[in-house]
Amino acid sequence: MSCDFLSLALPGVQKLSPYVPGKPVEELAREFGLDPAEIIKLASNENPLGPAPMALKAIQQALPELTRYPDGNGFVLKQALSQRFGFDLSMITLGNGSNDVIELIGRAFAMSGTEVVFSQHAFAVYPIVTQAVGATAVQVPARDWGHDLEAMAAAVTPATRLVFIANPNNPTGTWVERAEFEAFMDRVPEQVLVVLDEAYTEYVMAEDVLNGFDYIDRYPNLIVSRTFSKAYGLAALRVGYCISHPEVADVLNRVRQPFNVNSLAMVAAVASLEDDAYLAESRRANREGMLQLEQGFRELGLEWIASRGNFIAVDLGRDAGPVFQGLLRAGVIVRPVAGYEMPNHLRVSVGLPQENKRFLEALAGVLAGE
């Protein structure tokens, strides 16, 4: 073949490396000859409880209509979100997961000659989207593994078009308080759009927690994105959304594909919004699992980053790569985060009690065998 197809791609795309997701159970089973039933996966921040019963029932009822295209406007889901959170339908943009929403924002507002600001150790999709659209990434050094909003505000220039803030942040689990967020927003020019990524916010149980929805009316340049993949347990269906000023939502819907959220995802999301008992159980299980992991790390003499997500980053005090490989051989999948400039950490999703126990036992064995 004589044609270099990569050279035909956009300059930003040419420099991209594909996103590497957590290793699937089936792949690990093939690689090491393991029984898939004996493998536990704590790598992708999935809800270990499985989907809500009401969501499963809604999916079953919707199956006969699979020959029909989804509602391209997502009216029923938008209406459910409007009733739950009090926003007009004109302020809601639906996405194929919140990742899709982030990409829509990047495609709609960033381009060559503009800058996108985000924190060190922040979600990998932010630099990927920035590079793909040809914008300039401005990564601001983290403070105590989290966002330094004062430094991020100082990094804003006349060329800045977008700022991404993850709260809680993935993969560190760190969070932003109300006062510092308000001080940041008051400094940012109105023509700079701020994306507050709240993919894990449903897991936060602290008092007076920062809730982006409280600031939509106050700051017209604020976009708040959320997902049903985490606390609502619908990761496989890929459904997320964002709330913004109607004029911002109008721009996003101009680039959004008309059927970007499938019918099963939408009916499951609507049902999940109504299942308060499931959400409460997800939060309870996550809190207890987090305490179990923290206690296990304490007994192993390991440090960790305090987290408000459904995952925790543990500091092994050494290169985490060999430990990650040892855990794989033991049938335990976690997430290495060297690509986030955290070579000594592993990110571990909170699992069921027996899964957390199995992970801690495997970790102790690997550390003892080094």
Percent over 70 (pLDDT), the chain:
97
311-335 per-position pLDDT tens digit: 999 999 999 999 999 999 999 999 9
Determine the pLDDT at residue 20. 67
Question: Tokens 């049938």 appear where?
Answer: 331
Got the DSSP string for 41-99? E-SS---TT-S-HHHHHHHHHHGGGTTSPP-TT-HHHHHHHHHHH---GGGEEEESSHH
Domains of the chain: 21-50+277-369 (3.90.1150.10), 53-274 (3.40.640.10)
Determine the pLDDT at residue 216. 97
Task: Report the C-alpha gap between 36 and 269 in whole angstroms.
Answer: 29
Of 170, 202, 169, the closest CA to residue 273 belongs to: 202
Token reading at 175: 């969070």
Confidence band of 19 (pLDDT split at 50, 70, 90): low
233-244 per-position pLDDT tens digit: 999 999 999 999
206-to-84, 177, 211, 260, 295 alpha-carbon distances in Å = 21, 11, 11, 34, 20
Per-chain mean pLDDT for the chain: 93
Determine the pLDDT at residue 11. 77
